Amino acid sequence: MVFHYLKVVKTLKLLSCGKLFDFTFLRIIGFLVINGFVRSVDCDGGKLIINGVYIPYRSGRELASDTELLLKIMGLPLKFKAIRRSIYQVVIDYRRFDPRDKVIVDIGAYIGDSALYFAYKGAKLVIAVEPHSEAYFEMLENIKLNGYGGKIIPINAAIGSRHGCVDARGSVITTLTQYYTPSTKASDCAIRVITLEDLIKAFNLNKETTLKMDCEGCEFDVMLNDYEHVRLFRELIFEYHSYAVNRPVNDLLNVLGRDYKCDIKGNKDLGIMHCVRK
């Protein structure tokens, strides 16, 4: 990894026609190189071109804030109502997951970034579940912008091991890191909580379906308390948030290990887990 990082730093310095980029800029590009997103680097009249995309910045701060440009570098021609950093994070998190011809249940779909990515990469159908109303309506607009209404089914709901409600308020930005604890109190009943069983029955899902989850901690509730329905999915790919619920990731592994072979990328508090039925 260090070798590749130093290699790209040296390359960019040579191609910058005598003008150096700042360290943050080089760190971002180095990260893209290490993760396999940079195919070509050129210099034309002092202008830096990566993957055929002209880069107008030399400051890492400017580059980091231009998510649309980073998406172009990554080769993701999707449109969004608002450019949010979660969009290119989706590309990084799921770049090794092959969604082609799969039916995917997307729990924690947010603004539709992951659902759109899966659809663009060839998913047969994506059932996109998002509890936050503002994020949900932004997802509807993003689906329309990209013409994927026939491939993505959006649902404004939370997921849990049993029925109830959540109070999914706050901004569309803060909801990215917010775990909504299910409740049965009437005052908390802003958004309904549905179960995997509800989705399986409503869409007649078979055992070849993939379950994706990024719900800031709800994965522990669902997988530990509703495993009988989790195990009906052939493939699981999810972000675990041990820090959010104060439970070790081994709690998940001990359960999933019965039926799945799992690979983890991350640490004890946060990471991505990919599991395939044995």
Condensed to tens digits (0 to 9), the pLDDT of residues 142-167 reads 999 999 999 999 999 999 999 988 88
Whole-number pLDDT of residue 184: 64
- Find residue 105's DSSP bridge partners: 127, 211
**Tokens 């994706």 found at:** 212
| Domain coverage including residue 19 | 2-74
If we measure between CA atoms, which residue out of 178, 195, 151 comes closest to residue 245? 178
Last residue of a domain, one of 43, 74, 105: 74
Number of domains in the chain: 2
Whole-number pLDDT of residue 210: 99
Whether residue 139 is predicted with pLDDT greater than 60 in this model: the reply is: yes
| 130 and 247 inside one domain | yes
In a domain, 245, yes or no: yes
| 101 and 144 inside one domain | yes
Q: What is the pLDDT of residues 37-90, one digit of tens each?
A: 888 888 887 788 888 999 888 888 888 888 778 888 888 889 898 878 788 789
In a domain, 80, yes or no: no
| 105 and 240 inside one domain | yes
| 120 and 224 inside one domain | yes
| 64 and 182 inside one domain | no
Q: What is the mean pLDDT of residues 157-186?
A: 75
CA distance 148 to 168: 26
The pTM score is 0.85
Q: What is the pLDDT of residues 219-235, one digit of tens each?
A: 999 999 999 999 999 99
Could you give the dihedral angle defined by the CA atoms of residues 191, 195, 197 and 199, in that order, rounded to the nearest 10 degrees? Answer: 50
**Tokens 């590749």 found at:** 4
Whole-number pLDDT of residue 89: 84
| 42 and 107 inside one domain | no
| 156 and 269 inside one domain | yes
**% residues pLDDT > 70 (the chain):** 87
Poorest-confidence range of 9-13, 150-154, 193-197, 246-250?
9-13
Last residue of a domain, one of 19, 43, 74: 74
